A = this chain, B = another copy of it.
Amino acid sequence: MKPLTDTETTLAELKTQVLAFARERDWEQFHAPKNLSMALAAEAGELMEHFLWADPAASRNIVRDPARRTKIEEELADVVIYALEFANVAGIDVAAVIEAKMAANAKKYPVEKAKGRSEKYTEL
């Protein structure tokens, strides 16, 4: 079987794999949205731990450091797995809600106002 890649894998394909993994183990009973949101936040916390004391610029090197990179990839995988399982359980189309959110963000952050600025839209 060919390994998965972002170029050839749809969101739906990944969601199906994540759901199958849970279903095989009879884990859907545990996968309430509340629990999945906690697991997602906990994994996001583990991802952050790699960067706690580094400056942002230095964090760009940390992700390239082979000794760290594999762990970082695993934490990111965990985050996305729980996000996709949340979408499975809640019946959310991830691509659709991202498209909608980015359209809303484009209004809040028009290019001419937001360019090169990190302020929140309420402060632009």
Residues of A within 8 A of B (CB): 3-12, 14-15, 17-18, 21, 24-27, 29-30, 32-35, 37-60, 62-64, 69, 72-74, 76-81, 83, 86-87, 89-102, 104-106, 109, 111, 114-116, 118
Contact A55 B52 (CB under 8 A): no
Determine the chain B residues whose CB is within 8 A of the CB of A92 once the complex forms: 72-73, 76
Contact A87 B76 (CB under 8 A): yes
Determine the chain B residues whose CB is within 8 A of the CB of A106 once the complex forms: 21
In the bound assembly, the distance between CA atoms of A116 and B14 in angstroms comes to 22
Contact B34 A41 (CB under 8 A): no
Contact A5 B93 (CB under 8 A): yes
